[in-house]
Amino acid sequence: MQIKKLWRIFISLLIFYLGLEFVINKICAGHHLVYNVKDGKQKIVIEETYKKINHNRYDFVFTVNKVKFYQSFFKNLNNRNYMVNQVEYISDDNYQCIYPIYKDKKIKSNLICYDGKYYYPYSSIVGKSDVIDKFMDKYQVEPSENKTQGITVYYNNLIPKHKLFLENYKGIYTINDDGQVSNTTLFTKDVYTKNISGFTDDYYFVANYENEYATNQLIYLSLNNMKQKILKKKEAISFDSFVEGVIDNEIYLLDKSNKQQYKINLSSEKIELIGDENKKLSIYINGKWQKQNYYLVEQDSHYFSPYEVTNTIDGIEYEKVDHIKNRKYDFYYMYKKDKNGYHMFRKDKSNNQITSLFDVDNINQIYYQDNGFYFKHNDTIYYYDDMVGLNKIITYSELKYNKSLLFYVTF
């Protein structure tokens, strides 16, 4: 009797295990498919991979004329498969391009081009091919805009739950995801250069520039409700100070006139002297703190980046390389100096695809978000995403004339 009971328990556990394994393989593990579509005479082979356990990631590899094109997106579609309805193929003397069209109309697409060396989104080669421009005319939609307080907001390009902040000469603008613009005034006179200013996750901060040469006051605003506070210091900080960076919501400031380094925590309202010309300064490089002599730091003006930063990848030297890695993706963003500022490239470590992207003004003001990012060029702040392409967010004429104006985005 006892043996029959144990046998029934064993059978029940086996059925439960096999059922669980089926669920994991069918639902959790995802799928890998290979199928074909045709565009005229061109046969396009599609490899579709879905990984639920990797944040609902869909990866597509499109092969045409022995050239591979890549596209990915993150979306929970309950393991739906054969997601590509059609692929349009276009080429000229310089580029081969594809435009995937997906089953789900909510999944937007983007033209991907290849010139034998780099991949390009359409927005980075506009005007370089009459054939491609004519093809893309049917997919281009002019953004709706609204002008207020000197800012043009492209409100149908705004990303839900993203809020943008932009310095002006007397304070800071807030641009909400509904296109509304508000202005918080901090100074009675125009301040054109603010070396002591920046953003943490929770605050905008700026020195009180009502004084002429130095200040003992740091103004800071909550990015949630724009309430203003002032953090006071006994001794004044000179206006030739500069913000070295923000790490773990703590501000690192170098006062060049007084040869002192400070760490500032706005949440706890603390200003701490952590180095001077006699005591080595703290320098943050690739996730690790190092100690360096004051005069070496002053000459180098090293910027503290929250990302792993190098200057060389695959034997090629760049002005800067940001390594952005998490459970979703693994990208290298490379910046090469040119006449227009810096040109941005991206390498996807999962497939080694190198994409030539855009010219940017400030390589320390790129805000990465999933497979998209915000950047500034000339008088415009843009958002780029692999699936939707390049979108104008706002235009503000002063950005063209004053490169020191900062912006920030909360997600």
Do 163 and 130 lie in a common domain? no
Q: Which of 77, 105, 139 is the last residue of a domain?
A: 139
Confidence of residue 215 (pLDDT cuts 50, 70, 90): very high
Do 289 and 393 lie in a common domain? yes
CATH of the domain at 187: 2.120.10
Do 49 and 118 lie in a common domain? yes
Do 156 and 126 lie in a common domain? no
Among 26-30, 329-333, 407-411, the minimum mean pLDDT is found in 26-30
Q: What b/e string do you get for 283-292 counting C-beta neighbours within 10 Å, with b at 16 or more?
A: bbeeeeeeeb
Give the mean model confidence (pLDDT) for residues 232-237: 93
Give the closest residue to 134 by CA, choosing from 124, 122, 145, 143. Answer: 122
Give the mean model confidence (pLDDT) for residues 352-365: 95
Do 295 and 165 lie in a common domain? yes
pLDDT at 301: 72
Residue 52 pLDDT exceeds 80: no
Do 192 and 277 lie in a common domain? yes
Domain membership of residue 311 (yes or no) is no
Domain membership of residue 205 (yes or no) is yes
Residue 232 pLDDT exceeds 80: yes
CB neighbourhood size of 248 (10 A): 9
The dihedral of CA 387, 390, 396, 398: what is its sign? positive
**Two tokens at 350?**
């999962």
The dihedral of CA 391, 394, 398, 399: what is its sign? negative
pLDDT at 326: 80
Do 131 and 154 lie in a common domain? no
Confidence of residue 108 (pLDDT cuts 50, 70, 90): confident
DSSP 173-189: EEE-TTS-EEEEE--SS
Domain membership of residue 166 (yes or no) is yes
Give the closest residue to 173 by CA, choosing from 182, 162, 163, 186. Answer: 182
Domain membership of residue 352 (yes or no) is no
SS3 (DSSP) at 323: strand
**Two tokens at 124?**
């980075």
pLDDT at 236: 94
Do 268 and 406 lie in a common domain? yes
Domain membership of residue 84 (yes or no) is yes
Task: Name the DSSP class of 144.
Answer: P
Q: Which of 139, 154, 176 is the last residue of a domain?
A: 139
Do 158 and 76 lie in a common domain? no
Nearest-Å Rg of the Cα atoms of the chain is 26
pLDDT at 2: 61
Do 397 and 298 lie in a common domain? yes
Domain that holds residue 110: 27-139
Give the closest residue to 166 by CA, choosing from 142, 143, 144, 149. Answer: 149
CB-CB contact of 243 with 257 (8 Å): no
Do 126 and 179 lie in a common domain? no
Residue 106 pLDDT exceeds 90: no
CB neighbourhood size of 360 (10 A): 20
Cα dist. 285→310, 336, 349 in Å? Answer: 10, 20, 22
Domain membership of residue 199 (yes or no) is yes
297 or 15: which leads in pLDDT: 297
pLDDT at 15: 67
Domain membership of residue 101 (yes or no) is yes
Structural domains of the chain, count: 2
Domain membership of residue 347 (yes or no) is no
Cβ neighbors of 142 (< 8 A, separation 6 or more) are: none
Residue 18 pLDDT exceeds 60: no
Do 188 and 283 lie in a common domain? yes
Give the closest residue to 364 by CA, choosing from 297, 309, 286, 317. Answer: 309
Q: Which of 105, 139, 173 is the last residue of a domain?
A: 139
CB-CB contact of 366 with 333 (8 Å): yes
Give the mean model confidence (pLDDT) for residues 114-140: 96
Give the closest residue to 298 by CA, choosing from 240, 223, 234, 211. Answer: 240
Mean pLDDT of the chain: 91
